[in-house]
Amino acid sequence: MTERIPLQILPTFVIAARLENLRATAQRLSLTHGAVSQQIQQLEQAIGYPLFDRSGRGVRLNAAGRELLAATEPALLALQQGVDRARRVAVSQRLRISVLPSFAHCWLLPRLAEFHRACPGLRLDIDASLAIQDLGRKGFDAAIRIGDGQWSGVQAQRIATGEVQPVATPALVRQWQKAFDAGDPQVPLLEHDVTPWRSWFAAAGQNSGGQQLALFNDAGLLLRAAEQGFGIALVKTVLAQDAITAGRLEPLAAAQHLGDSDVYLVWPQAGGLTPEVNALLNWLQQQLS
């Protein structure tokens, strides 16, 4: 059957079926209206039945066309994803990963040299973004995400706890430690939009205190502000650990787990755990253990 079907026409059919407009399809593909019409007719002749109902100059996908679209569209997507993966493997052993900017700046980048020593045959292609990317459609091999581990279309493995703790420069800790413990309303606080201070105070059994000086949507910027001595930041311990170890920041209290916000490595469910992603996973687990 596939010998008779002009497979090269199927992408044109998918676009025409979605738009139900041959002229718009021609514009999308940079073809003439006549060329698109001829391709659709060729496909219909090869299959043996019409795929569109025609009325005047308009076309509308019929029941047979809808069935073909339901089978063709995911098949073409899977084929494209396979080609993309094969191309990446052919060019080099490259891992394309999506990472939150805060994790990339505060944790991953300082350890890139160590990664290349541990996995010399792999090259990381890092896309730093706050958006949750569709890994299959966007061609990503894996992603580092923060949440509860429940995302559709991917497999997930927790690599770090999502505990948070308040940190500040040593000078600010000396100045505000007692006031912070007492819930003083004058304590200067810096907040991340996904980790509100009220949750911290509630978990600690304290009355909410302090004044919010700034709100950030990126934990990396929040940490940077804390290191500049602007205020006390509530951040994930895994992101602040290097600054704490170096003495640039000090914790004002023990870390707490406030909700479903652990750190996960995820990869497309359809492709499974490839050797390259498994190598990255093993390295992350070793570093974060």
pLDDT per residue as tens digits for the range 245-268: 999 999 999 999 887 789 999 999
Cα–Cα nearest to 232, from 287, 276, 183: 183
* Mean of per-residue pLDDT scores for the chain: 89
Q: Annotate 190-214 with b (16+ C-beta within 10 A) or e (fewer).
A: bbbeebbbebbbeeeeeeebbeeee
pTM of the model: 0.66
**How much is the average pLDDT of 56-84?**
88
Fold of 7-87: Arc Repressor Mutant, subunit A (1.10.10)
Structure confidence at residue 289 (pLDDT): 82
Fold of 164-251: D-Maltodextrin-Binding Protein; domain 2 (3.40.190)
The fraction of the chain above a pLDDT of 90, given in percent, is 61
Query: In whole angstroms, what separates CA 33 from the centre of its chain?
Result: 39
DSSP string computed for 12-70: HHHHHHHH--HHHHHHHHT--HHHHHHHHHHHHHHHTS-SEEEETTEEEE-HHHHHHHH
pLDDT band (50, 70, 90) for residue 138: confident
Task: Say yes or no to pLDDT of 14 above 80.
Answer: yes
Instruction: Say whether 164-251 and 92-162+261-288 share the same fold.
Output: yes
Range 92-162+261-288 has CATH code 3.40.718.10: no
Task: Say yes or no to pLDDT of 76 above 50.
Answer: yes
